[in-house]
């Protein structure tokens, strides 16, 4: 059994994010789902990003990092899009990380915005759609490929399509077939974490 700290995307802790966490729990894993927006959800990515901007990306990311303070060190950190910010930071900087699951986004490990190199011994899976205008168009796929090229235990999984939040069953962007495959890959990852 793995213990997972799962961060929601810019539309908030939706019922779809909760359902995904429940699927992992049904697989025998403990999953924590902090609500960085304190109960607020948004109808669109643009509305969620506007909310994030009023608080600040850095502040919300650090709020997510602080969620780990009262949890054990041996966690798998997971995040959907915006939630990748705290998840990836924790996976790269908090001692004892057991793995990282990055959905729809990925931060660079080199250059101006980088947290630093990918840590040895921390496996990672990165999932996105191959024509997602955010994941592909904004360069996250390049950051993901860089991690895969340099980390010892890393995988990038691309799914056909152009949807960003394809694994959230409460949103119109949901893709059941891609999510089923993503979930099976995640459960296999957690089984060895």
C-alpha 110/C-alpha 30 separation (Å) is: 32
HEC letters along the chain: CCEEEEECECCECCHHHHHHHHHHHHCCCEEECCCCCCCCCCCCHHHHHHHHHHHCHHHHHHHHHHCCCCCCCCCEEEEEHHHHHHHHHHHHHCCCCCEEEEECCCCCCCCCCCCCCCCCCCCEEEEEECCCCCCCCCCHHHHHHHHHHHCCCEEEEEECCCCCCCCCCCCCCCCHHHHHHHHHHHHHHHHCC
pTM of the full structure: 0.96
Which pLDDT does position 115 carry in this prediction?
87
Which pLDDT does position 111 carry in this prediction?
85
Residue located via tokens 């904004």: 138
Which pLDDT does position 114 carry in this prediction?
86
The pLDDT of residue 113 is above 80: no
Segments forming the whole domain that contains residue 31: 3-191
- What CATH code is carried by the domain that includes residue 70? 3.40.50.1820
Split into its structural domains, the chain has a count of 1
Using DSSP bridges, classify how beta strands 124-129 and 154-159 pair: parallel, antiparallel or unpaired. parallel
Write out pLDDT tens, residues 120-166. 999 999 999 999 999 999 999 999 999 999 999 999 999 999 999 99
- Average pLDDT of every residue of the chain: 96
The pLDDT of residue 112 is above 90: no
Which pLDDT does position 122 carry in this prediction?
98
Q: How many CB atoms lie within 10 A of CB 77?
A: 29
């Amino acid at each position: 059994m793995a213990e997972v700290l799962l961060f929601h995307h810019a539309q908030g802790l939706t019922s779809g994010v909760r359902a995904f966490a429940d699927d992992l729990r049904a697989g025998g894993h403990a999953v924590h789902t902090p609500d960085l927006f304190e109960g607020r959800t948004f109808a669109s990515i643009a509305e969620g990003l506007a909310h994030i901007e009023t608080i600040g990306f850095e502040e919300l990311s650090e709020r997510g990092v602080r969620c780990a303070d009262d949890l054990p060190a041996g966690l798998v950190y997971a995040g959907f899009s915006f939630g990748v910010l705290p998840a990836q930071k924790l996976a790269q900087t908090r001692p004892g990380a057991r793995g990282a699951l990055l959905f729809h986004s990925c931060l660079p490990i080199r250059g101006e915005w980088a947290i630093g190199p990918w840590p040895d011994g921390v496996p990672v899976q990165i999932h996105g759609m191959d024509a997602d205008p955010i994941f592909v168009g904004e360069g996250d796929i390049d950051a993901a490929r860089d991690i895969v090229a340099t980390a010892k235990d890393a995988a990038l999984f691309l799914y056909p399509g152009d949807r960003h939040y394809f694994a959230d069953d409460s949103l119109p962007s949901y893709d059941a077939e891609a999510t089923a495959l993503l979930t099976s890959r995640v459960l296999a990852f957690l089984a060895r974490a």
